[in-house]
């Protein structure tokens, strides 16, 4: 049976034997142009398009706007931005619990 297989393979015409050199592109429905190959590798960063609603506190809003910096970074860079924003928001919350600092004229004895 292997002789039959070898004879069958030998009888298949080679597409490079086509006189005009176009090969299989002469087949119906096949054009001579090739489709662009998809890019290999990871896709680039894309913004998520999330809307950030202002909180009314200028400091907190500024920190939340910093999250937009992560839109232009790869996933590896997101951690640094998130940690920075988290730290700043935690500091803002901690400042709300701190006792008020007396002004220069409020410390009268």
The secondary structure of the chain as a DSSP string is -HHHHHHHHHTSPPGGGSTTS-GGGGSTT--SSPPPPPPPSPPPP----------S-HHHHHHHHGGGGGGGS-HHHHHHHHHHHHHHHHHHHHHHHSPPPP-TTS---
pLDDT computed for residue 13 by the predictor: 56
pLDDT value of residue 82: 93
Q: Across residues 36-53, what is the average pLDDT?
A: 72
Q: What is the per-residue pLDDT for 87?
A: 96
For the residues 35-60, what does the mean pLDDT come to?
77
With bands split at pLDDT 50, 70 and 90, how would you rate the model's confidence at 49? confident
What does the pLDDT read at residue 12? 55
pLDDT value of residue 33 = 65
Q: pLDDT tens-digit profile of 53-102?
A: 899 999 899 999 888 888 888 888 889 999 999 999 999 999 888 888 77
pLDDT bin (cut points 50, 70, 90) of residue 105 is confident
């Amino acid at each position: 049976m292997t002789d039959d297989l070898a004879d069958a393979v030998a009888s298949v015409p080679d597409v490079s034997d086509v006189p005009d050199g176009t090969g299989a592109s002469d087949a119906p429905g096949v054009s001579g142009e090739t489709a662009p190959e998809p890019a290999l590798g990871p896709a680039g960063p894309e913004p998520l398009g999330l809307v950030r609603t202002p909180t009314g506190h200028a400091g907190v809003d500024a920190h939340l706007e910093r999250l937009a910096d992560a839109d232009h970074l790869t996933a590896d860079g997101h951690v640094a931005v998130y940690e920075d924003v988290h730290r700043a928001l935690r500091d803002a919350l901690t400042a709300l619990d701190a006792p008020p600092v007396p002004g220069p004229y409020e410390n009268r004895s």
